[in-house]
Structure 1
Amino acid sequence: MPRTWMRFFTPSPRHHRLGLACLGVGLQHGALPTVGPRTLDHHTAVLINTGSGWITAPDGRRTAVTAPSLIWLTPGTPHHYGADPTGWDESFVDFTGPATTTYTELGYIEPDRPLVPLTGTAGPRAAISRIVRAARPDNPLLEVEAGAALHELLVALRRARADTGPDGTPVLQALARDALQPLSLAEHAARHGMTPAELRAAVKRAAGCTPKDYLLNIRLSHAKELLAATDLPVAAVARRVGYDDPAYFSRLFARRVGTAPVRFRDLQGRGAPDSRPDPAP
């Protein structure tokens, strides 16, 4: 017999402005009824923990679903899916909010990829469990707790994707390792036997951004650490993060961070001469 537990919420406009608002959560197991065809006005993440089934695309093609997998239901997209006769174990979360646009741009939500194979479901299930625990009618923190867990859920689902793994792809790992070297995009691509276009596509798929932005974020984060924890001159900081021209580095830093490197040091500096940032604990 199928077993179903679900709760639905009505967050206020203020809770929507937090970025993500949870509309519902459910745990289901067994030979569940077929879902759809239907179209929703919100997002739903359907986590298939065990079992198998199928999903039909808007063009009518049916694809097999094998756990562990994620089914994305996105607003305005018709969907139709169901478990095999033996049933499956699923968890679902309904949500909405302005942050869904940014999460989609970053590749965490994939409207064009309704079925995502996963390496496992432990991380996502832990985030969903936090929503379930918060779902008490007398919980005054319900909407905020559920919204916070939604952010964790999207990160956990991203980490669990079978095509990249929790630490990204080897390309991302190598880019992070070489980020502080003064290499061009073409030189980075050549190190991986790729064209620049292929490298851009690989980084976009895995990190949701361009290689330039991926490298820039790493460089500027390290520059901030050096500015805050050492008394190195700005020119030396620039060289250590891959920029031979300190004036260009300062302009880039100010444009992205919103303040000049010297000003950032005045606000955040905690260093001493020749000190170095310690590794993370």
Structure 2
Amino acid sequence: MYHTWMRFFSPGPLHQRLGLVCLGVGLQHGALPTVGPRTLDHHVAVVISAGGGWYRFPDGRRADVTAPALLWLTPGVPHHYAPDPATGWDEGFVDFTGPVTATYTELGYVEPDRPVVPLADAGPARSVIGRVARAARRGNALLEVETSAAVHELLVTLRRTRADTNADGDLVLEALARDAFRPLSVAEHAARHGMTPAELRAAVRRGAGCSPKDYLLGIRLGRAKELLAGTELPVAAIARRVGYDDPAYFSRLFARRVGTAPVRFREQQGRAVPGGWSTRIPDAEHPPTIVTGHV
């Protein structure tokens, strides 16, 4: 016995321009029928939250699937899988497509060469899939945009809950972030972690989808923007604070990446506050608010 619920959508040309659209959602459990062998023209994320089964690769190899786990079904790649007929499994799936999937794949969020991915916890992904299911109600005028946004969230959630990462990201990335403002080369960063530059590049590419240089640059420029917008520090002083001894080089780098010079960015975004900006992340449930009332 098994139970299944699913909805499928056909976004129009305008919604396709969102770059990532949802084509369907489903929630199923029990001893579901075998899927495939078949080949699709779009992506599907299948989240297994309980139970187990198997997945067969195109070359005939078979892998056990034990919850919590993710199955990636990617366009043009044959797939064949099923839950154990004795125990079944609990499954939620989302079909999606669009040119943005190529970027997510390049960043490592979608892994065509790794169709079976162990998860540390299926709960967060199932929560997002549940929101897609609720958005699928008949007559929802926001259906396409609401589900498109949810697919973005699902891809991030699945990346965050992979069993080979921790909740805040890879330890190497955390260490790089702590040292981001020190004037160190990539080779020096690698040596500090007992790695070769090639090993560091591979670790950062796997964790962040970019090179160590780009990862560090993003952190440095983000901090530089905060200092430009929230303080009156000279550009040269800001350059040194974020790891650049040469202010002219920093200004060129900033302009090339941001699209405007540091001075111009300050003119556009400056919000000088006595005492400076807080570095404490607000509580999302209780953000800072204006208190009004009669005295």
Q: TM-score, normalised by structure 1?
A: 0.98
Q: Is 1:191 aligned to residue 192 of structure 2? A: yes
| Counterpart for residue 2 of structure 2 | 2
| Counterpart for residue 15 of structure 2 | 15
* Residues in 2 aligned to 1:257 and 1:250: alpha-carbon distance in whole angstroms: 10
The residue identity in structure 2 corresponding to 1:244 is D
Q: Is the 1:31–1:87 contact (alpha carbons within 8 Å) kept by the matching residues of 2?
A: yes
| Counterpart for residue 44 of structure 2 | 44
Q: Is 1:69 aligned to residue 69 of structure 2? A: yes
SS across alignment from 1:92: strand
SS across alignment from 1:167: coil
Pairs aligned (count) = 280
| Counterpart for residue 172 of structure 2 | 171
CA apart distance, 1:272: 5.1
| Counterpart for residue 157 of structure 1 | 158
Q: Is the 1:127–1:149 contact (alpha carbons within 8 Å) kept by the matching residues of 2?
A: yes
| Counterpart for residue 142 of structure 1 | 143
- Identity among equivalent positions (%) equals 74
* Residues in 1 aligned to 2:88 and 2:129: alpha-carbon distance in whole angstroms: 21
Cα distance per residue 1:188-243 (max 9 Å; x no partner) = 00111000000000011111111011100000000000000000000000000000
| Counterpart for residue 231 of structure 1 | 232
| Counterpart for residue 270 of structure 1 | 271
Q: Structure 2: state its 5+ residue gaps.
A: 283-295
| Counterpart for residue 207 of structure 2 | 206
SS across alignment from 2:265: helix
| Counterpart for residue 254 of structure 1 | 255
| Counterpart for residue 103 of structure 2 | 102
* Residues in 1 aligned to 2:118 and 2:142: alpha-carbon distance in whole angstroms: 33
* Residues in 1 aligned to 2:117 and 2:155: alpha-carbon distance in whole angstroms: 13
Judged with a 3 Å threshold, the aligned counterparts in structure 2 of structure 1 residues 272 and 31 are, in CA distance, closer, same or farther, namely: closer
* Residues in 2 aligned to 1:276 and 1:71: alpha-carbon distance in whole angstroms: 47
SS across alignment from 2:58: coil
Q: Structure 1: state its 5+ residue gaps.
A: none
SS across alignment from 2:84: strand
| Counterpart for residue 287 of structure 2 | none
SS across alignment from 1:28: strand
CA apart distance, 1:58: 1.1
* Residues in 1 aligned to 2:6 and 2:68: alpha-carbon distance in whole angstroms: 21
CA apart distance, 1:276: 3.1
Q: Is the 1:231–1:272 contact (alpha carbons within 8 Å) kept by the matching residues of 2?
A: no
Judged with a 3 Å threshold, the aligned counterparts in structure 2 of structure 1 residues 233 and 56 are, in CA distance, closer, same or farther, namely: same
Q: Is 1:216 aligned to residue 217 of structure 2? A: yes
| Counterpart for residue 116 of structure 1 | 117
Structure 1 segment 77-88 matched on structure 2, within 5 A: 77-85=77-85, 86-88=87-89
Q: TM-score, normalised by structure 2?
A: 0.93
SS across alignment from 1:113: coil
* Residues in 1 aligned to 2:135 and 2:95: alpha-carbon distance in whole angstroms: 15
The residue identity in structure 1 corresponding to 2:114 is R
CA apart distance, 1:122: 1.4
Q: Is the 1:16–1:98 contact (alpha carbons within 8 Å) kept by the matching residues of 2?
A: no
Cα distance per residue 1:51-81 (max 9 Å; x no partner) = 0111011111000000000000000001101
* Residues in 2 aligned to 1:147 and 1:202: alpha-carbon distance in whole angstroms: 30
The residue identity in structure 2 corresponding to 1:121 is A
SS across alignment from 2:59: coil
* Residues in 1 aligned to 2:134 and 2:52: alpha-carbon distance in whole angstroms: 27
TM-align CA RMSD? 0.9
Which contiguous aligned blocks of 4+ residues in structure 1 show a shift greater than 6 angstroms? none
The residue identity in structure 1 corresponding to 2:180 is A
The residue identity in structure 1 corresponding to 2:49 is N
* Residues in 1 aligned to 2:24 and 2:166: alpha-carbon distance in whole angstroms: 28
